[in-house]
Amino acid sequence: MISLSAMDLLAYRPKYEPRRFQVADSILILDEPGDSIGGGSWRDQIVCTRRKDGTFSLRARKTGDDGPDLSPAGITRIRSPELFVTNLIEMARSLDLEIDADEIAERICSKLDELDLEFSQDVKACVARSFCSTKTGG
């Protein structure tokens, strides 16, 4: 039987470097309360994930008093701020929520800053361009 001392174990180095997995990061970017006439309550939520490949995904969900009620398939492989904003607005509408340019630039991007500051700044610029072009008609 081979006996190894504690020092032998500490000095042991594998011949290969273990594969390091990059974990996807997720944040809650929209969280709105809701109530029903019957007395139950729920929260409408949108989760944003920065995936391992550098793209983003969005997922809507409704969580109620009894746990998650609805979580349809999300939107993945979002690479551009324009696509992010378009899908975010559509996803909010699917939850019967309306979000405007100010809310995206201030409230949502402040949360998105935690996930990816550069992408968040690109989203703010996209919202400013889109909002200005619709206000001026061009």
For residue 9, tell me if it sits in a domain.
no
Q: Which residues span the domain enclosing 34?
A: 20-132
Is 0.85 surpassed by the pTM of this model?
no
For residue 1, tell me if it sits in a domain.
no
For residue 137, tell me if it sits in a domain.
no
**Cross-strand partners of 30:** 46
For residue 60, tell me if it sits in a domain.
yes
For residue 14, tell me if it sits in a domain.
no
For residue 11, tell me if it sits in a domain.
no
What digits encode the pLDDT tens for the residues 79-129? 999 999 999 999 999 888 999 999 999 999 999 999 999 999 999 999 999
3-state DSSP call for residue 18? Answer: coil
For residue 10, tell me if it sits in a domain.
no
Whole-angstrom CA distances from 86 to 21, 92, 98, 123 are 31, 10, 13, 11
Domain count for the chain: 1
* pLDDT at res. 136: 37
* pLDDT at res. 113: 95
For residue 138, tell me if it sits in a domain.
no
* pLDDT at res. 134: 47
Alpha carbons within 13 angstroms on the beta-carbon side of residue 97 total: 22
